[in-house]
Amino acid sequence: MLRNRVFAFANISFMICMLARGAVSVLLPFYLEERQGFDTLPVRVAAYAASLTLAWWRPLAARAAIGWDRAGSRRSVSPSLAWACCS
């Protein structure tokens, strides 16, 4: 499967995007508490709210993915990946 260039590069770009998101979600609370001086409670509440938001959007994204499969991957993958990286 990785011999297909489109598939291989899509997986590599998705992996880089998710590594960046993971690093931000792990390091951001430490940065906010240690460097910016925020209290622990607001940072925890913000992290919890972000997790709940992601959990709420996942079923909607799954439904949208079914529609995107019908529309074709080229029109849906690029904006989706850009949105995932920026959110």
Note the pLDDT tens digit of each residue in 13-35. 888 888 888 888 888 889 999 99
The sign one gets for the Cα dihedral 80, 72, 67, 2 is negative
State yes or no: pLDDT of 44 exceeds 70.
yes
List the single range of 42-46, 70-74, 81-85 with lowest mean pLDDT.
70-74
How many helices (H) and strands (E) in the chain? 3, 0
> pLDDT at position 21, please?
82
Q: For 63-72, write each residue's pLDDT tens digit.
A: 777 766 666 6
> pLDDT at position 77, please?
67
Phi, psi for residue 37 in degrees, rounded to 5: 80, 20
> pLDDT at position 1, please?
73
Percent helix, strand and coil across the chain, each to the nearest 5: 90, 0, 10
- Counting residues of the chain whose pLDDT is more than 90, the rounded percentage is 10
